[in-house]
Amino acid sequence: ELFVATDNLHMDLASLAPLAKYTGGDMRYYPLFREAFRGEQLRQDIQHMLTRETGFEAVMKFRVSPGYELKSYHGHLFQRTRNLLVAPNCTEDETFGCIVGVNKDFSGPQARSVCIQAALLYTSSAGERRIRVNTSQFPKSLDVEQVMASCDAQAAAIIMGKYAINESHNVSDARKYLLDTTQAALSGPNGRLESLEALPG
């Protein structure tokens, strides 16, 4: 974890952020820091960081059904191989995301559903080596309206934002990606998707 509390000094946060990201941590920034003004918030954040449930020496492996592939990952971790991720530590506050797409080189029979499995191997704070496996199955459908209506709008918006930040070289590219992706989704059936109406305005 990296806590940056400055008075009025310039800090190169863009250079510091990867240090926290690739070691499984997070960076918290407290601009114009005054002990009387934000000291309590800093104390609470540090206390929460020290007392929350944490897993150490973690590795995570993703698997998907034949005919599909993992396009990209998002989260504070390091990608060792195509489907193996390393997180020196992981906490109850973190989430990991991945983008799954169709493997165009696959020539076998297509299944009726898509399965995604995430296995997390880690060491608990008590020194026990544990593994947690989460397997989800999603039905396939040719009905675009049904697919879009079942979309988790907030999760989709977060993944889109992270993908835009990671894959774009400048702000205009990120903005263009977000606009193009949103327009493509909203130009679906009838141009009105009920699940996306839950997004904050």
* Furthest C-alpha separation in the chain: 65
Report the predicted TM-score, pTM, of the whole model to 2 decimal places: 0.71
Residue 99 sits in a domain whose CATH number is: 2.60.40.1670
Please give the residue range of the domain that contains residue 77. Answer: 53-140
Q: Which amino acid is at 157?
A: A
Are residues 148 and 177 located together in one domain of the fold?
yes
pLDDT at position 6 is 86
Are residues 16 and 68 located together in one domain of the fold?
no
Are residues 121 and 74 located together in one domain of the fold?
yes
Are residues 118 and 153 located together in one domain of the fold?
no
- CB-count burial class (<10 Å; 0-12, 13-18, 19+) for 67: middle
Q: What is the dihedral of CA 52, 55, 56, 60, to 10 degrees?
A: -140
Query: How far apart are the C-alpha atoms of 156 and 178, rounded to whole Å?
Result: 11
Are residues 8 and 75 located together in one domain of the fold?
no
Q: What is the dihedral of CA 33, 88, 17, 99, to 10 degrees?
A: -130
For the stretch 29-85, pLDDT in tens is 988 888 888 899 999 999 999 999 999 999 999 999 888 888 888 888 888 888 888
> How does strand 129-139 pair with strand 2-5?
unpaired
Are residues 88 and 15 located together in one domain of the fold?
no
Query: How far apart are the C-alpha atoms of 3 and 5, rounded to whole Å?
Result: 6
Please check whether residue 80 is in contact with residue 58, taking contact to mean a CB–CB distance below 8 angstroms.
Answer: no
For the stretch 97-128, pLDDT in tens is 888 888 888 777 777 788 999 999 999 989 99
**Count of domains observed in the chain:** 3
Are residues 101 and 160 located together in one domain of the fold?
no
Q: Shortest CA distance to 164 belongs to which of 181, 151, 188?
A: 181
Are residues 131 and 201 located together in one domain of the fold?
no
Are residues 22 and 71 located together in one domain of the fold?
no
> How does strand 78-79 pair with strand 54-64?
unpaired
Are residues 64 and 102 located together in one domain of the fold?
yes
Q: Which amino acid is at 117?
A: Q
Residue 188 pLDDT greater than 70, yes or no: no
Are residues 87 and 46 located together in one domain of the fold?
no
Are residues 124 and 181 located together in one domain of the fold?
no
